[in-house]
């Protein structure tokens, strides 16, 4: 996921007033939002993917809900312009497998029993960690 939230430290910008109603969460499939949010998480996997050009890694979070089911949380550059690049979009994607086999490193921790995907997402949103800004070249870590 990205390296830091898109904060307005230099004063007002469209990210904090003109586009305050922008919802950067995107469910796939869209029709499964309620089902995704109500799924109970068994294990949380933090997955580092291939090193990207110029260094660094791209990370995803897989919320494993069953042996062969997971919800992937991935922050990607969205379609809306930010102060220096593009505002991030948090893709929330249902998968028919527990975790990807394509990773450089995976760190897994058991989830607190009974916690749902929705509770994880709500915690991310409450902490404002769903709002990232990518550079014009699509990097989430300051270029």
According to the model, what pLDDT value does residue 16 have?
Answer: 46
pLDDT digits (tens, 9 = 90+) for 109-126: 999 999 999 999 999 989
What lies within 8 Å, CB to CB, of 66 at 6+ separation is 42, 98
pLDDT of 66 > 50? The answer is yes
Q: What is the pTM of this model?
A: 0.79
The token duo for 92 is: 């929330």
What lies within 8 Å, CB to CB, of 120 at 6+ separation is 41, 44, 63, 73
The CA distance from 71 to 100, in Å, is 11
What lies within 8 Å, CB to CB, of 72 at 6+ separation is 60, 61, 62, 63, 91, 92, 93, 95, 100
Percentage of the chain beyond pLDDT 90 is 47
The CA distance from 2 to 141, in Å, is 6
3-state secondary structure of 15: coil
């Amino acid at each position: 996921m990205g390296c830091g939230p898109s904060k307005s430290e230099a004063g007002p910008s469209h990210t904090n007033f003109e586009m305050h109603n922008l919802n950067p969460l995107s469910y796939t499939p869209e029709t499964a939002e309620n089902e995704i949010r109500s799924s109970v998480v068994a294990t949380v996997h933090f997955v580092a993917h291939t090193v990207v050009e110029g260094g660094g890694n791209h990370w995803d979070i897989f919320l494993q809900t069953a042996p062969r089911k997971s919800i992937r949380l991935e922050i990607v550059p969205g379609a809306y312009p930010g102060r220096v690049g593009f505002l991030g979009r948090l893709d929330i994607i249902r998968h028919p497998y527990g975790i990807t086999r394509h990773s450089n490193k995976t760190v897994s921790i058991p989830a607190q029993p009974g916690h749902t995907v929705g509770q994880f997402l709500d915690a991310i949103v409450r902490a404002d960690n769903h709002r990232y800004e990518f550079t014009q070249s699509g990097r989430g870590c300051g270029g």
